[in-house]
Structure 1
Amino acid sequence: MFKQSTFLQLKTLSSLNNLNTSRSLYTSVLKSDINITKNGKTNISVGQGGRSSRTGYTATVFGASGFLGRYVTSKLARHGTITIVPFRDQMKSRFLKVTGDLGVVNLVEFDLRNIKSIEDSIKHSDIVFNCIGADYHTKNFSMADINIEAARRIAKITKDYEVPRLVHVSSYNADPDSSSVFYATKGIGEAAVREEYPNATIVRPSPMFGREDKILRHWGNKATIFNFNSNKTKIYPTHVLDVAKALELIGFDDSTEGQLYELYGNTEYSLDEIRKIIEPFTKQKYINIDIPKPIALLMTNYLQYIYWKTTNPDQVERAYIDQIIDFRDPNIKTYNDLGIVPDTLTDHVLKYTKQFRTYLHSHDLPPSEKELKNLRKYAHVIEN
């Protein structure tokens, strides 16, 4: 009897140890199931880190329906972080509901001119991600309205409600003295955020490639024939999933507050080089017509009278500005400080441009992972 009871005690203890071990491995982001925010709130995680778990945190993602914001929302929601999604058009945001379990993703209608709606989006959160940005003017908002005043307003309300963390997404080449309106407003916006919320973390991502990007999809489309500066603009493209992962890590790590992060790829490309990389994958021969800058500026100025979004003069100006990174500045953090190895553009070209291939070249596709698996399975038969 003594031996049996001892065995049961040891078995129970072993089960508890396994439970504690599994809870300590809650997610790749949280290192503990008990977390205290900077304003003293205690968040307790529940579950094993899957879709139906809860991290105990509440996060607001402004710009959640945008290119970067949708991936940030997905990474937060899939581990059970209650995610507030402020929206202007519910039809353009409702697809985010399925990124998390029932009740995890919550849509809140807001307007940048309505202070109360911004407060309702922020007041219950532990982390605020501002992914809102505009690189063109609209009939309702200018680039200054979005990149400066909206950023200032969100930062001020975040500070007023004592939200412990604010992560502001800026842009590469952000500089108040830039000849580009977009880069200049992003630079001024950073200063405005710092003024209202000094401990905000500012992130400057490089041009991002991904499923809905403006790099691979843009240059993979055969209809894109006009270019500026002979496509000599040099950039360090980075994967949008890497940027989203970095934002997730930054949001849950209090040691990153007040820091400036430059998130860029390991390889520099010109736009012309990117287009030449795409050509073998799409099996299309592209036509390039270079437009001189004075003519391009004149044409794009007239295009702004069209109702829908078109190429604007500031895009032309940015085509003559290379991406600049100060590799020697010790105050600028990178992917390395977050333990992330960024993806290479060439590894994802096929995945994001294969829809531009014609049916005539469908047989030229490389073998899928399933086909490769079957080949490895029967490799010994082939060799014999």
Structure 2
Amino acid sequence: MLATSTNCVPLRRAVAQQRKNLQRAYHDLVALPKKGPIVSYGPPGRSATTGHVATVFGCTGFLGRYTVAKLAKAGTQVVIPYREEDEKRHLKPMGDLGQIVMTEWDLRRDDQIEECLRHSDIVYNLVGRDTNQAGVPRFVHVSHLNAAHDSPSAFYKSKARGDDLVREAFPDATIVRPAIMFGYEDRLLNNMALWPIWWKLNNMATKIRPVHVFDVAQALANLISVPSLPGVLNLPGPSTLTYEYLLTLVSSVTYNPHSRAPVVPKPVALALARAAQAVWWPALSPDEVVAGTSTMLTCPATGKVGVVPDEIEQHAISYLRRYRSAENFTRPVVFPSSRDAEYGL
């Protein structure tokens, strides 16, 4: 018997709803709690569940990948906002099945940003722009140790301005200020091994406090267990070192001779950078020269996150062995002499 048009209405509605459901994501069909009680279960480790859902903006960057690894290892479900398909694939195996949730997003689309936040109870901002947090209870913003309004560097001024905007939008936010970081993909030890001339600016007298990226990532992951920590959290390295000492460290670990490149005074480097910017594609901007020769602020380390930072000498061989020659690849490490006045410390 043929169905009448009246009988077909419910059927058409059901088919339309089914098609609509097929176009929706899994987290749209299953309502996950965001602000309810946090319940953890399972043995400690990767297969546990902390009950927390964290969104990490900037997760494909240097610090972001290690933050995701630390969170997922503890059993936290991590939302991964990504823009490029190939940049986020390595993050998938960092967590147990279903713990790494990939979400494509556009920084200019507020609706997509809200979609990344809708189920999270803590958000980590590792990119250079603050976002409206759509009712998220916790917000962690990563800045820089040298962020200051009176800094000669436009980069550090922008970091300070970003901190102010975060406080205006989210007064209870935790602002984390790490020093320059070292690790596998860093721009410190690797660049010193490849391009030592860039680190001879300012007569190699610039002082920094390098901190291990693993320590910063662990500090960020530990914040998830702290109910509230508003204000600024400084994360400098344990020691203040000059570029001269670090170049000597790189040479000692790699068994490569010291670079014969001339020491470049800061005024000369600024003049060369301005000239290159005016007549050719700039290899180094003037502000990079200013930022790269700015001594790290002597901010005291904050011991509220349960992390004791490691010295750079403990990990230098792990990141610099690749730059050794074949005959020196297995030789023992010989560190430079003690940190004394010879290195300006």
TM-score, normalization: structure 2? Answer: 0.81
Q: Match for 2:136 among 133, 156, 163?
A: 163
- How far is 1:364 from its partner? 1.5
Letter aligned with residue 289 of structure 2: V
Separation of aligned partners in 2, 1:242 and 1:306? 42
Say whether the 8 Å CA contact 2:254–2:321 is kept in structure 1. Answer: yes
Q: Match for 1:262 among 234, 243, 261?
A: 234
Counterpart for residue 38 of structure 2: 43
- How far is 1:117 from its partner? 1.4
SS of 2:175 mapped into structure 1:
strand
Counterpart for residue 93 of structure 2: 98
Separation of aligned partners in 2, 1:346 and 1:255? 34
Separation of aligned partners in 2, 1:58 and 1:307? 47
Q: Match for 1:323 among 281, 286, 296?
A: 296
Say whether the 8 Å CA contact 1:229–1:319 is kept in structure 2. Answer: no
Counterpart for residue 254 of structure 2: 282
Q: How does 1:1-384 map to 2 (within 5 A)?
A: 41-132=36-127, 147=128, 150-151=129-130, 154=131, 157-158=132-133, 161-221=134-194, 223-226=195-198, 227-256=200-229, 258-287=230-259, 288-301=261-274, 310-327=283-300, 334-365=301-332
SS of 1:254 mapped into structure 2:
coil
- How far is 1:309 from its partner? 8.7
Say whether the 8 Å CA contact 1:234–1:268 is kept in structure 2. Answer: yes
What whole-Å deviation, never above 9, does each CA across 1:37-75 have from its counterpart, x for those lacking one? 9x8511211211222221111100011011111110001
- Structure with higher RCO (Cα < 8 A, 6+ apart): 2
Letter aligned with residue 260 of structure 1: V
Separation of aligned partners in 1, 2:189 and 2:255? 14
Separation of aligned partners in 1, 2:124 and 2:47? 23
Question: Closer, same or farther in 2 for the Cα pair 1:97/1:166, shift >3 Å?
Answer: same
Question: Closer, same or farther in 2 for the Cα pair 1:112/1:44, shift >3 Å?
Answer: same
Say whether the 8 Å CA contact 1:236–1:269 is kept in structure 2. Answer: yes
TM-score, normalization: structure 1? Answer: 0.73
Letter aligned with residue 157 of structure 2: A
SS of 2:317 mapped into structure 1:
helix
Question: Closer, same or farther in 2 for the Cα pair 1:119/1:308, shift >3 Å?
Answer: farther
Separation of aligned partners in 2, 1:267 and 1:131? 24
SS of 2:263 mapped into structure 1:
strand
- How far is 1:290 from its partner? 2.9
Say whether the 8 Å CA contact 2:236–2:299 is kept in structure 1. Answer: no
Separation of aligned partners in 2, 1:48 and 1:306? 61
What whole-Å deviation, never above 9, does each CA across 1:173-226 have from its counterpart, x for those lacking one? 1012211011000000000000000000000001111111111111122x4334
SS of 1:183 mapped into structure 2:
helix
What whole-Å deviation, never above 9, does each CA across 1:143-183 have from its counterpart, x for those lacking one? xxxx3xx21xx1xx21xx21110000000110122110110
Question: Closer, same or farther in 2 for the Cα pair 1:308/1:120, shift >3 Å?
Answer: farther
Say whether the 8 Å CA contact 2:56–2:126 is kept in structure 1. Answer: yes
Question: Closer, same or farther in 2 for the Cα pair 1:65/1:307, shift >3 Å?
Answer: farther
Q: Percent identity?
A: 37
Say whether the 8 Å CA contact 2:193–2:323 is kept in structure 1. Answer: yes
Separation of aligned partners in 1, 2:309 and 2:116? 32
Separation of aligned partners in 2, 1:361 and 1:110? 46
Letter aligned with residue 212 of structure 1: E
SS of 1:42 mapped into structure 2:
coil
What whole-Å deviation, never above 9, does each CA across 1:276-310 have from its counterpart, x for those lacking one? 11211100013232334344334434656899994
Separation of aligned partners in 1, 2:109 and 2:35? 29
Letter aligned with residue 246 of structure 2: I
